[in-house]
Chain A
């Protein structure tokens, strides 16, 4: 499967050509060129998925891991070094398929959405860079390559969030996204250093002998690496960058901040899953709690946001929380006895990528029509934008967990895995799933039903180039749930037959239906006063949720007060006023000493004579005293 290398190289080529010569191209040509290259890459990815699944599994049903390409990029000595290569196994081809599909949809969609924007070529160049980096990340055969591409996706995310670089909010958001994730990546880096030092390799599958020797440090390494993953995947309390990242163009939010980059943390844990389960189960369970807490937090906050992209951003955070929980509740690599969560997590990652991209692109279509992100500028759009409406509804049903849409199947597996681990987590996650259904239908109603606003009067359906990706993604959302996912991917590679746990499934459906009904009664016609009454009843809580429980303020305090105020400013002052002054003082004292001694050389013979005689007398006395044995 050597051709998989081209899946990476084509987007890179698109980036390089557009970055170097983009300004000479017309918008149309640049867009079509990039989209064309990505279409080829997507075709190759789908071929890779098919080819990989066609490989003959061994006796236990496990498919082989392939390494079609690998070379030593940077040697460190002692056998350590950064190897760059392509690792082709089930999770990585799956991710290649997902990334290239969503990326292709976003490329096509952007032809319409970004039409006429200044910097159109730059936009497509960055999309190419991102796609390259993201695919490089998922095919990494070792942690260091993952880290390398991890940083590259971070910078492409930075560049794309700050695409509208004349808007102060976009500049601030891009900076924040980069710095917060960089801060988290510090953990990743230190984790990698520990991993490399104790295991003697950066590969994902270390030598068993090295594992036996260095295994006791592994919980530290894995825990620190997860800090990096938590930063990228916007886990509490490092989530603060993701809502702000919505300042970027909406298709970018769909690609990077919903479907692909933000799930890198989940993918990272999944990649290291065998090590986590065997050597650091306690870290894995801590991850489950982090995920559950994040899911709950984000779901609550999403209920009261009024910017539709922010609602979707918090919903993304919440859903990634679900994936993390699913990984965290695993207790073994056997899908039948406690490793179900691994499969569930990757399954949900896939379905979520598709329906969340659909939601974002749908939201983009709405924003394109009304020129605003605020719910108050929307309403009654169902009739004006029929295609956007129907595809958005499908995605909402999918995320709410209503059969037969894809989200139902994957979420059901997650809940089953949770209930197997602990009923507490199981019920918590079921509750959060209900909350998800509620806020998604609140969003749906306020966009497409409710009260019309001035802006909606001139709204009309988006062009075909934008609705086509919506239709494709909606179709995928409808069928994805029926894919026998467990037969392709499971924690130990053996096929696993997915069967619905009826009890869990019925409970979650019942919860979701009630939550949807509640949302519909509150928001469908826009006349219900219940939501405002609830707001009035507990204004503090509402305000706190609206302000996202003041996490941004906390971080603001840390960066501005502590780092700027208590560290940088005093240090800079100290440097200029203490250290530098001391150096100046040295120079001054040399000068001053010269000034003081200057009179000795005043050119008058009398003075010299007196000094000369005085010197002789003094020396004579000293010599005499010395001769007397006084010293």
Chain B
């Protein structure tokens, strides 16, 4: 039994526990125990992984294991992690842990909500530990479906519309993805679905040329690639707090991770051929998302467009295909996951009190709910890349890495992308000035209370992580950088 399988086993046990739970406290107990166990497991894995690497382990992936599922198609349950998966697992565990606290008082149907929530998490964890194309796809789909119910049942606003839109668009992406995966499988000679083995084979260039865009688009939809990002504003706006957190914090990272792990690693020639076009699209994403966020009036829309911009930067950096830029992309995934989760958590908590997210109706919250307001400011500062918080580390790595291309096209794209840091400052400070500072516009709000203990736990955990990554990025940066190397080497050979 591999340690990695625990990441799937614990959620499965949690599902059983939730199924059996009879009271609210039992449900909460199961969630708390399970998510804490996952968090401890993820931290333990990170420590163990670092130790092994320092001990001289040089394989691309550690903790590898494989159990055959279906011999004729070479489908196996294969697991393995490298530095990138380790930090992603850690991120997912943190978000799940804090998400549990953020939905502590959620009503109605708490048990059912947590069931779907755990299923979603199971998909996410499974995706990050898998090294088999088919198994990955399976877990990917497992993560997508619960989203429909979570938004459709527990959401707010136009929830049915948003849930349907999100699911359909992401499913559309998966359709491309499935074709892409089959293309890779048959293109490489139909002998294995294991990524590690596929990475050592070469797929004919003309096949890569056809299937790279399919896979990249398929994952790109989830990574909010322009122009397939429009599920994000509606979906986030309608989703309940913890679902927004998990979705923006982790699920959108599946997109970037998949693009890197499957599209770019397995099809380096296709990547180089198509990188120009996709770079243009991602550069547009970065600036377009930021500019759109400037004039939004709904807090969640602002943050959703901001996510389009920041996730655009992830794909942008991946397509730069230098080692530093790719490290930056993964760091940006980590950083964006943490800070957006924080943002959505705080927005959800504010919304739960004021019942509005319209920035024109809010004001003066700093005096009424100082804790949440300060958390919002910190999230905002992390978003605009303040040194000492995670955003700075990631963005700087991305920009330094992107600048390694001396040709005009990449330079121009990089410089256009850097302008987003100014636009980000505009929309963040505009929102902060509107909703937190100034005087309270609605006398009803004067009676509102500040965060409760469970909300504080969630927020403090996330702030601590954002600050930790921002102040001491050495560990994350190093283990990611080591793990990016095989992909970059493969790109260089092609």
Contact = CB atoms under 8 A, between A and B. Distances in A.
B437 interface: yes
A375 interface: no
Interface in A395-448: none
B122 to A, nearest CB: 29
Contacts of B241: none
Given A148-B392, A152-B387, A179-B426, A575 B292 contact: yes
B291 A567 contact: yes
5 contacts: A76-B400, A77-B323, A77-B324, A572-B292, A583-B230
Contacts of B436: 165
For the complex of A and B, the 4 pairs showing the least CB-CB separation, nearest first, are A165-B437, A568-B294, A148-B387, A193-B403
Contact of B291 (A165, A571, A587): A571
A151 B382 CA distance: 12
Given A168-B438, A193-B400, A73 B386 contact: no
Interface of B: 164-165, 168-169, 227, 230-231, 288, 291-292, 294-296, 323-324, 327, 364, 366-367, 381, 384-388, 392-393, 396-397, 399-401, 403-404, 406, 414-415, 418-419, 421-422, 425-426, 429-430, 433, 436-439, 473-474, 477-478, 481
A149 interface: yes
A186 B290 CA distance: 15
A576 B253 CA distance: 24
A522 B396 CA distance: 55
Given A80-B400, A575-B230, A155 B386 contact: yes
Interface string A519-549: 0000000000000000000000000000000
Interface of A: 72-78, 80, 82, 144, 148-149, 151-152, 155, 158, 162, 165-166, 168, 171-172, 174-175, 178-179, 182-183, 186, 189-190, 193-194, 196-197, 563-564, 567-569, 571-572, 575, 579-580, 582-584, 587
B87 to A, nearest CB: 15
The binding surface of chain A is classed by DSSP as: helix
B357 to A, nearest CB: 16
A575 B422 CA distance: 21
B226 to A, nearest CB: 8
B433 A171 contact: yes
Q: Which of B168, B387, B422 gathers the greatest number of chain A CB atoms within 10 Å?
A: B387
B405 to A, nearest CB: 10
A237 B366 CA distance: 34
Contacts of A162: 433, 437
A148 to B, nearest CB: 4
Given A72-B474, A152-B388, A186-B421, 12 more contacts: A73-B474, A74-B397, A75-B474, A76-B327, A151-B387, A152-B386, A182-B384, A182-B421, A193-B414, A568-B291, A568-B294, A580-B230
Given A166-B364, A166-B438, A186 B418 contact: yes
Contacts of A587: 164-165, 168
A183 B422 contact: yes
A112 to B, nearest CB: 25
A564 B418 contact: no
A75 B381 CA distance: 23
A571 B292 contact: yes
A572 B233 CA distance: 11
Contacts of B399: 189, 193
Given A571-B291, A580-B230, A77 B327 contact: yes
B400 A73 contact: no
A583 B165 contact: yes
Contact of B396 (A74, A172, A584): A74
Contacts of A74: 393, 396-397, 473-474, 477
A166 B292 contact: no
Contact of B296 (A73, A148, A567, A572): A572
A155 to B, nearest CB: 6
